[in-house]
Structure 1
């Protein structure tokens, strides 16, 4: 599965309020738009409960973000893993951690002890 991220959007309170529903599971990429107009990913992440709230905490750490709302925690974990392995973001050096209380494996490296 490979999800298309929406954006980029400015990482600001107003943009988050406008484009992201409250209380939804989701994944995100933080970065910037280069001089050629391409979005350059610096880090990736997810929130299993409220991705808008998580991104609100990160305002000031990056200028732009992309996101996708996910149907549940498992899908969010698997997509965050996909972003981590495919994009190799320079500011995300630690493999995504599976949600507490699960034994899910990364579908890309089959790592279990996350």
Structure 2
């Protein structure tokens, strides 16, 4: 089975993980010959289980919409993307802000103008209780949506200052 994720990465196969290692309800997704564990399997499109951002939106990527929906001085996570012909949000970039989510998301407007191949027209967001929660969610979203191979992200999410742990997905 070959299906496209809406960007340059293809889903080749999706297989449930057997429950012999405590990973019940998780799936292995084969993206262009690479394996990824798909943990958040709540959004479905055309019968294929897709990853879920667990964020509010999508909203148009404009200053007015950002100011209207996001509180000032909150930390959290975001995704940039676009809506396909069916109205499905196609993720192109995931990130977080450890200081001011509203200001960070506004950077996407400039990015959209300078990197049109990434096609940032909309955004989604969620607030986080602390920077460690925001980092761990960013890592999950990054891996669930194919990492740098499928997203416009150039590298794995950076750890926040003072964070002693590792990525909850890959252990980096």
- Paired residue for 2:14? none
More deviation, 35-44/94-103: 94-103
- Paired residue for 1:101? 162
More deviation, 95-104/30-39: 95-104
Deviation at 1:104, TM superposition (A): 2.1
Q: Compute the RMSD of aligned alpha carbons.
A: 1.5
Deviation per CA, 1:21-75: give whole Å up to 9, x if none. 0000110110000111110000000000101000112214121000001111000
Counterparts of 1:90 and 1:76, CA distance in 2: 18
Gaps of 5+ in 2: 1-38, 41-52, 113-119
Correspondence 1:110 to 2:161: no
More deviation, 9-18/102-111: 102-111
Q: Report runs of 4+ in structure 1 exceeding 6 Å deviation.
A: none
Greater radius of gyration (CA): 2
- Paired residue for 1:56? 106
Correspondence 1:77 to 2:117: no
Bigger RCO of structures 1 and 2 (CA < 8 A, at least 6 apart): 1
Correspondence 1:28 to 2:82: no
- Paired residue for 1:16? 66
Counterparts of 2:74 and 2:166, CA distance in 1: 23
Deviation at 1:110, TM superposition (A): 1.1
TM-score, normalised with respect to structure 1: 0.90
Counterparts of 2:151 and 2:134, CA distance in 1: 20
Aligned residue pairs, count? 111
Deviation at 1:101, TM superposition (A): 2.6
